Amino acid sequence: MEIFDAPNADASCGRRNVTTVAPQALTLLNNPQIRGWARDFATRVRRDVGPDHSRQVKHAYQIALSRLPGDTELEEAIVFLRHSELENLCHLLFTLNEFIYVD
């Protein structure tokens, strides 16, 4: 957690630091645990809605972002899934600013 600004226990922490640096991005991209979660997420989506790409994208969006994709997003995601695994779409949802930052 040190990479994501976990406070040092030696001193009081009035407010957490908020940093956005490459080591955090590397963790989200390459950490085996996060990749594992992306695989589990994809398994759940497939189990819930089956093989249809459009339904998969809508369901994954709903779970990860609590909303349905817009028309453009849906179209782009379907194009993406023609060349890529659902695992990769699920993984990329974890990296989105919208996923990380609460509005």
Partner 1 sequence: MWTNHRRNATPFPCGLVDNRFTNRREFLRKAGSGFASVALLDLLDRQNLLANTRTHHAATAKSVIWLFMEGGPSAMDTFDPKPALNRHHGQKPPASIDVFFGNPGPLMKSPFTFKQHGKSGTWICDHMPHIARHADDLALIKSCHAESPAHGPAMYQMNTGMVRTGFPSAGAWIQYGLAASNQELPGFVVLQNSRGSKGGANNWGAGFLPSEFQGTPFRAQGTPLLHLNRPEDLNREQQRRMLDLARRWNRAHATKHPGESDLLGRIHSFELAFRMQSSALETVDLASEPEPIRARYGLDKDHTRAFGEKCLLARRLIERGVRFVQVYCDDEWDSHSNLEEQHAQRMAETDQPVGALLSDLKQRGLLDQTLVIWGGEFGRMPVSEKALGRDHNPHGFLVWMAGGGIRGGTSYGELDEIGWRSATNPVSVNDLHATILHALGLNHERLTYRHNGREFRLTDVAGEPVHAIFA
Please pick, from the candidates 1, 8, 12, 66, the single residue that binds partner 1 as defined by CB under 8 A.
8
Token couple for 74: 């849906």
Closer to partner 1 by CB, 12 or 47: give it: 12
- What DSSP designation does 10 have? T
Q: Report DSSP letters for 40-70, one per residue.
A: HHHHHHHHHH-S-HHHHHHHHHHHHHSSPPP
- In angstroms, the CA 89 to CA 79 distance is 11
68 binds partner 1 (CB under 8 A): no
Smallest distance from partner 1 to CB 69, Å: 9
**Using CB under 8 A as the criterion, which residues of the chain lie in contact with partner 1 when the complex forms?**
2-3, 5, 7-8, 10-11, 15, 17-27, 29-32, 35, 73, 76-77, 80, 83-85, 87-89, 91-92, 95-98, 100-101
